[in-house]
Amino acid sequence: MTNKPGLQVPDLRPLLSPATVAVIGGTSKDTGLGARTLRHLREARFGGEVLTPAPRDGLDRDVDVALLCVPAAAAQEVLDRIDGRARFAVVFASGFEETGGGPLTTARGTIVLGPNTVGLYHAPDRAVLTFAQAFDGLVDRRHGSGAFLVSQSGAFGARVVTAAARYGFHLDGFVGSGNETQLDACTLARGVLAAAEPRVLMLYLEGVRDAGTLQALLADAAGRGVPVVCLLGGLSEAGSTAAASHTAAVSTDTAVTRELFEAYGATLVRSDRELVLAGLSLSLMGRAAGRRAGIVTGSGGAGVVAADLLSGAGLEVPALSARLRERLMAHLPGIASPRNPVDVTAQTIGDDATLEKVCATLRESGEVDLVVVIGREDQAAAAGARAGAAPPTVVATLDREPAAVRPRIEAGEVVLPDLDSACRVLASCAPPRSSGVPVLRPAAAGPGSLGSGPTASESLRLVAGAGVDVAGWGAATTVAEVLARGEELGWPVVLKSDVAAGVHKARAGGVRLDVTAATAREAAAELLASGVPLIVARQLRASMELFAGVRRDAQWGLVVSAGLGGAHVELLDRTVAMPAALGAEHFARRLAAELFDRVPGRYGGLAAGLAAAAFALADLADRTGAALVECNPLGVVDGRIVALDARVVR
């Protein structure tokens, strides 16, 4: 068995909940990997059977997990001896493929975790199968949080585990995938979903190594109703697919990956701290019904900062109704403010009985979906900040250390040591913006079939043949033909050099706008002097310029992009890019959410029309094998979306 990432999802129950564990090697010294692992198992009070066979002896009976604590030079030999006897072999040593060596292999059914992994733990079974010193103080495994971490970096994952514990947030499990000879992180995570049934899945991935396995994981988690929070390292800006491609500039790996996570209701975070806080949030409180946040504070300044933090995280801080304000003021002094934030004043915030009435009134109003109360760590009961409370409620203290709130969180109270942490936790509870898991279509791949590459005029014909409305145009090789085309189409016109689609016409000086009957002769003669034929296109007056494009990516297959267009589409930052496999309907929903719904009622139908144009280009790229197809700009003319230019690149 020499499987790389993509292995069929195995049953991880024997790995997470082993009845028998063999620790092989590294036991002769206290500092050895085997000795440290045995100490962790002993101090954790692991209830299963632990064997310590010599590396040269192999196994004389079947075991669930064999921990190979031997040097890299001996690992394959030991693995050969236990192959078929151990369901899983966890290889701690490094120095294989990552240093130019060969991969570890098995032939009789043993599945390898690692090499170069720190191992794993599963708290409900006290299975601390790791040598890592980070776990020396974590062997008394608390559990019940429902959170499980899968990390491609074992050392970084161990840091996240210990950071979470400082808040009183104890993960139920952790596994480091290491160098992934057989089991990649996404496949491991799918196995965790089935075997451990977590309430929240936390991930650290060092880049997207295989788009298909990541997509399968996100779809699996969404289907099970398990939220995913991921810290993704290694995101890089994609290089251009073709010269000066707008499509490549706006559909970067970062943008596409974020859209994939968005499609499945998963969350991408930017730091280990955010990973811990988001995991804590979803573990303790789960998802809220909506995105409306209420704030209760005794300090006007703190309330303003909280409103800014929550708004910046994508939540709404709505004004409260007159009726609700009246009900709140029944409990408050006349100098209080019942708007949102609800400023109860400094003299009232310490009165727990009054605070309880105010918070209960706000939480039961139906006007907010989440609540943050800025107060003391001992006010969780008065605020209603309990695990599982509806709506989710957090107490934010000011300038405290995680140790100060740790006992509260361990007791099921949602108290955070500072305002920023509390607002991040609350924002993580917000429901995903996606409208459900999309139906997938296969990602297109493969070489092109466009010969030497189409010219600009051939690109227009291909795009029109794909079903995209194209502005009227005609070819011309002489000044007289330019004048004739202008009369046919109607002045003014646009003149473009009919160069290969991979050449950016405007940057090469091959475009003239606003050409009239009076200026056509001179402009045509100047462009024709290069020896390149011309395209004469009707110049339409568009009410808005849009953009749509498709690029072929080695990782994602076809990637679609669309949004506001024009010469500086990269600077407008009003685009959506995602794998075409997510489908046109989902693309239309995202375009509406990110662009057209910002002004309700004004741009009805444009999201669906732009998505249809983008996926017509995707179908064209799929049929022809093109590396790039784009229309920039697409003009909105009398409510129609019309291509004013097109590029199809081999």
CA-nearest of 280, 238, 278, 241 to 257 is 238
What SS3 state is found at 90?
A: strand
Which candidate, 277, 298, 383, places its Cα nearest to that of 345?
A: 298
Residues with pLDDT less than 50, the chain? 1-6, 237-244, 439-449
- Rounded CA separation 315/318 (Å): 9
Residue 445 pLDDT: 44
Q: Are residues 640 and 584 in the same domain?
A: yes
What are φ and ψ of residue 98, in 5° steps? -65, -15
Answer yes or no: is 103 within a domain: no
**What is the distance between the alpha carbons of residues 86 and 63, in angstroms, rounded to a whole number?**
5
Token pair belonging to 357: 């009435």
Residue pair 209/5 in contact (Cβ under 8 Å)? The answer is yes
* Domain-ending residue, one of 483, 516, 538: 538
Residues 517 and 581 in one domain: no
Decide if 104 contacts 66 (C-beta within 8 A): no
Q: What is the CATH number for 369? A: 3.40.50.261
Q: In sequence order, what E strands does 400-489 have? A: 415-416, 473-476
Question: Do 534 and 496 touch, CB atoms closer than 8 A?
Answer: yes
- Cβ contact 165:56 at 8 Å: no
Q: Which pLDDT score, from 0 to 100, does residue 243 have?
A: 39
Same domain, 385 and 300: yes
Give percent helix, percent strand, percent coil of the chain, each to the nearest 5.
Answer: 35, 20, 40
Question: What is the b/e burial string over 300-316, where b = at least 16 CB atoms within 10 angstroms of the residue's CB?
Answer: eebbebbbebbeeeebe
**562 and 520 share one domain:** no
Which residues lie below 8 Å from residue 48, measured CB to CB, with a gap of 6+?
18, 19, 20, 21, 64, 125, 127
Same domain flag for 312 and 406? yes
User: Exposed, middle or buried by CB within 10 Å (0-12, 13-18, 19+), for 136?
Assistant: exposed
Q: Which of 33, 82, 38 is nearest to 56 (CA)?
A: 82
Same structural domain for residues 570 and 640? yes
Determine whether 3 is exposed, middle or buried from the number of CB atoms within 10 Å of its CB (0-12, 13-18, 19+): middle
Q: Which domain covers residue 620, as residue numbers?
A: 544-649
- 140 lies in a domain? no
> Does residue 457 sit within a domain?
no
For residues 480 and 587, state if they share a domain.
Answer: no
Q: For tokens 């708004």, what's the residue?
A: 311
H helix or E strand, kind and range, residue 632: strand 628-637
Is the residue at 224 inside a domain? no
225 part of a folded domain = no
- What value does the CA radius of gyration of the chain take, rounded to a whole number of Å? 30
21 in a domain, yes or no? Answer: no
Given 368, 396, 428, which residue is the final one in a domain?
428
CA 446-452-457 angle, to 5 degrees, is 105
Has residue 584 been placed in a domain? yes
Query: Is there a contact between 83 and 77 (Cβ–Cβ < 8 Å)?
Result: no
- Residue type (1 letter), 8: Q
Residues 574 and 642 in one domain: yes
The token pair at 330 is 């029944």
Give tens-digit pLDDT for 5-17. Answer: 445 899 999 999 9
CATH number at residue 632: 3.30.470.20
How many separate domains does the chain show?
Answer: 3
Residues 381 and 413 in one domain: yes
Q: CA 387, CA 413: separation in Å to the nearest integer?
A: 6
* 518 and 610 both lie in a single domain: no
Contacts by 40-45, CB closer than 8 A, 24 or more apart = 40/128, 40/129, 40/130, 40/131, 40/135, 40/136, 40/139, 41/127, 41/128, 41/129, 43/128, 43/139, 43/140, 44/121, 44/126, 44/127, 44/128, 44/139, 44/140, 44/141, 45/126
Domain edge (last residue) among 488, 515, 538: 538
Give the full edge-to-edge strand order of the sheet including 511-515.
473-476, 534-538, 493-497, 511-515
Residue 310 Cα distances to 243, 304, 416, 421, 471, angstroms: 41, 10, 15, 11, 45
- Name residue 371's beta-bridge partners: 294, 393
What is the pLDDT at residue 434? 67
Do the bridges between strand 127-130 and strand 119-122 make them parallel or antiparallel, or are there none, so unpaired?
A: antiparallel
Same structural domain, 639 and 552:
yes
Q: Identify how many contiguous H helices and E strands the chain contains and give both numbers.
A: 22, 27
What is the reported pLDDT for 500? Answer: 79
- Residues 142 and 144: their CA atoms lie apart, in Å, by 7
Pair 367, 393 in one domain:
yes
What CATH number did the domain enclosing 510 receive?
3.30.1490.20
Residue 615 belongs to a domain: yes
